[in-house]
Structure 1
Amino acid sequence: MAVMLSVLCYIAACCFPDYLTENLSRENAIGGWWSLLWGWLAVFVGGKYGFYFLAWYANVTYVLSIICFLNNKYRRFYCCAILTIALGCLFSFCPKIIVDEAMHTDDFVLAEGYYLWIASFAVLMIGGAICHLTRRKS
């Protein structure tokens, strides 16, 4: 149940914009699917902000944490889930975002997609912990 709720939250996150800049109206905002498909490239072209774009790799650790949870590897699940949340939160500290191929940057604000993305990680972590503890007691 925890995995299903988390994945639903993750899919919802992909349907909303991750961030908004001064030049992007809500109607023209980049959606979560775009960030999911191409976000990994920002690590390599992000320049001095590339470190913050390591947050994209939370998607990889998210999948690993689901696999560990489903295989009852709880110690690995907790490690991956904590790493997922930590990596995901890294993007919230980014001061600017690259907005075009010429490496121009702009200020931005986080939007619904980002918060749903982080919520999907938290739902998996909390739900997984509850499932683990209830299985352990019975």
Structure 2
Amino acid sequence: MSRIDIIIRNTSGQPIYDQIYSQIKDLIVSGQLKEGEPLPSIRALSKDLRISVITTKRAYDELEKEGFIYTVAAKGCFVAEKNVEFIREENLKRIEDLMQEIGRLAATCGLKSHDLIEMFRLLGLDEEE
């Protein structure tokens, strides 16, 4: 059984089951949780997080419905085989969301796109150099 660190924030406004779902999904998409790796049992994770078993089950059900995990009777839940194209799309969507946030922040600072590109280069994040 894997030990995973889930942080529940009561002040976030995001439902607890969704916080669990999002954090486990991020661990899977990023590769921190590998294909075939067992997840903590619903009961163990509930106890660890001090939350309802029903809440944890709902998060696991959502992960299974979306194809991130699968359940083996009497064995537990495991990380499903990754669909590389799906993960690429997930990452592209995440990048787009972050870029929109960067755009909003840049606008409040009076930065233009060429300023952002220069920052990108200065941070060594471009492949051209």
Whether these two folds match at TM > 0.5 is no
Q: Under a length normalisation based on structure 1, what TM-score does the superposition of the two structures give?
A: 0.26
Larger radius of gyration: 2
Higher helix share: 1
